[in-house]
Amino acid sequence: MDTTRFWLIRHALVAAEERVALYGNRDVAICEVTMAGQRSAYVTLGQRLPPQAEWFVTPLSRTVLTARAIFEGGYPETPLTVEPGLIEQNFGALQGIENAVLHQHVRMPPHDFWPVSHEERPHEGESFGEVIDRVSAVLQRLADDHGDADLVLVCHGGVIRAALAFALGVGADAALRFSVGNISLSRLERRGLAWRVVSANETMAGVPVF
């Protein structure tokens, strides 16, 4: 019975000037000072990963830069496959609005741990339930295509929450109650056709949770 092992890594911390507004699936800069100060954490993270794995990133540069930092920390450099289906939630017309005034632009009270309600579908965007559907389809396809393999997915906080929700069979509200820190590691497996969570939000020493 094949077991596909997924190693999900949230990207590096985004630059402070970008975090003042809702950025969603926009391509924004990482915090280079923080990344430089956390070099040892990237070394530790690379040591936790299987040495022969296939690597996937999203179309956003923050995932590519995070993967490269892991390679610079000693993990053997590996080709990166871009998987668009693993991109962060599209908040549509809300993207770019400053967090301090975001409440003036949403239709529903926001989730306790997310910028908007798990039920809200922003104009020109997607709801978190739709993110779960999108991510689950990608995970199923990757497992079908790769069988008994280790797959490293460098992606986003919302995507990892969606993946955990899919593996556990829980809804969008519960999914957003997972904490997923920057450059944290979460692990899923598909054994045969059954999914399970091996670990969630394993954080590296010295890395704060945002």
Query: 210 lies in a domain?
Result: no
Query: 191 lies in a domain?
Result: yes
Query: 131 lies in a domain?
Result: yes
CATH of residue 167's domain is 3.40.50.1240
What tokens were used for 72? 């610079």
Domain range for 7 is: 3-202
The pTM assigned to this predicted structure is: 0.96
What would the pLDDT profile of 50-70 be if each residue is shown by its tens digit?
Answer: 999 999 999 999 999 999 999
Give the CB-side neighbour count of residue 161, counting CA atoms within 13 A: 24
What tokens were used for 115? 């910028």
If DSSP codes are grouped into helix, strand and coil, which group holds residue 77?
A: coil
pLDDT at 205: 67
What would the pLDDT profile of 83-124 be if each residue is shown by its tens digit?
Answer: 999 999 999 999 999 999 999 999 999 999 999 999 999 999
Determine the Cα–Cα distance for residues 18 and 210; give it in Å rounded to an integer: 14
Q: What are phi and psi of 133, to 5 degrees?
A: -60, -45
Query: DSSP readout, 2-61?
Result: -EEEEEEEEPPPBPTTTTTB--TTS---B-HHHHHHTHHHHHHHHHHS-SS-EEEE-SSH
Q: Which is more confident, 205 or 196?
A: 196
Query: 207 lies in a domain?
Result: no
- Domains identified in the chain, total number: 1
- Mean pLDDT of the chain, nearest integer: 96
Question: How deeply is 110 buried, as exposed, middle or buried, from its count of CB atoms within 10 A (0-12, 13-18, 19+)?
Answer: middle
What would the pLDDT profile of 114-173 be if each residue is shown by its tens digit?
Answer: 999 999 999 999 999 999 999 999 999 999 999 999 999 999 999 999 999 999 999 999
What would the pLDDT profile of 186-196 be if each residue is shown by its tens digit?
Answer: 999 999 999 99
Determine the Cα–Cα distance for residues 101 and 169; give it in Å rounded to an integer: 34
Determine the Cα–Cα distance for residues 24 and 112; give it in Å rounded to an integer: 17
Query: 208 lies in a domain?
Result: no
pLDDT at 204: 86
